[in-house]
Amino acid sequence: MKTVGILVVLCVAATPVLADAVTYTFDVTSGALGLDISPDGIATVDPYSKPMAGTFAVTIYQSNGHIGESDTFILEDADLTNTGYVSFSLMGLAYGTIDPGSVRFLDFAPTGPGHIGPGGTALVDTDVYAAFTIIIGQTGGLINTTWMTATWAGQPQPLDMTFTTSGTSSDVLTVSLAGTLFSYEVGMSAITQTLTLDLIVDVVGTAHIVPDPALGGLTALGLAGGAAWLRRRG
C-alpha cells in the first residue's frame, strides 16, 4: 500500500501546468540597423546597413516547457543599439553622420499579444521608444546641426518575428525581429528638402528555454518519494 500511495502522489504531480508566462531576455547574436532616406536618389549609398547589438525581451505563454505553434507572446522592453558608423552625402551639398551608439531602441508597446504561427512565424504591430542623435552639416561649412530626440514613434508598425526551437527545456530558443520601426523627418535648408529617415531593424537573439515548473516539481517529488520508499524498504 505504501508503494501505491507514492505512485498516486506522483501521478497528481505530473498534471501539466498549462500556459506558464515566462519572460526571456534575448542576447543579440547578429543584427543590422538599416537607414532608408527619401525622397529616393537624394542620398548617396542609400539604403545603409550597419551592425547592431544589445538585448530584447519577450514574454511567452509556453505549455509544459515547450514553445511552439499557437503559443501566445508579448513583446517587452529592449536595449538595441547601432555599433557601426554611418555617413552619407545629400546631393553633394550636405552630409549626415550617425556615431556608434547614437541610435537606441529601448521599449516596445505592441497593440496586443502575438501568436506563433506555422513554421514559428509571427507578425506584431508595435510602437517603439527610440533615442537617437544625427549630425547634419553643409558641405564645406563650419557649422553642424545636431538632431536629437527620445520619444515614442507614435505609430505602430508591423514587425516580423520568427521563433525557432525543437522544444525541450535544454534547447536554445532563437527569435528574430525585422521591420521598419521609426520614421523621422528632418528639414534640410541647404538643399531645400524635407528628408524622411526610416530606421530599419533586423536582429537575431538567443536565450535558453526555462523548464516547465511542473516538471521540476515532479522530479523533486519523485526523488523524495523514492528515497522515502527505499528507507522504508531498508
| Burial tier of 34 (Cβ tally within 10 Å: 0-12, 13-18, 19+) | middle
β-bridge partners, 180: 200
What is the value of pTM for the model shown? 0.77
State the pLDDT at residue 138: 77
| pLDDT tens per residue across span 93-131 | 888 889 999 999 999 999 999 999 999 999 999 999 999
Cell 508598425 belongs to residue: 157
Rg (alpha carbons) of the chain, rounded to whole number:
25
Mean pLDDT of the chain: 79
Count of Cβ atoms closer than 10 Å to residue 22 Cβ: 18
State the pLDDT at residue 145: 80
Domain range annotation of the chain? 18-211
Q: How many residues are present in the chain?
A: 234
196 has a pLDDT exceeding 50? yes
Among residues 81, 8, 100, 95, the alpha carbon closest in space to that of 44 is found at 95
State the pLDDT at residue 229: 35
Give the residue with greater pLDDT, 228 vs 40: 40
Cell 530626440 belongs to residue: 149
178 has a pLDDT exceeding 60? yes
Task: Give one word for 184, left, alpha or beta, with left for phi > 0 and alpha for psi -120 to 50.
Answer: beta
HSE-up of 224 (CA within 13 Å, CB side)?
9
Under 8 Å CB-to-CB from 180, ≥6 apart: which residues?
A: 36, 157, 198, 199, 200
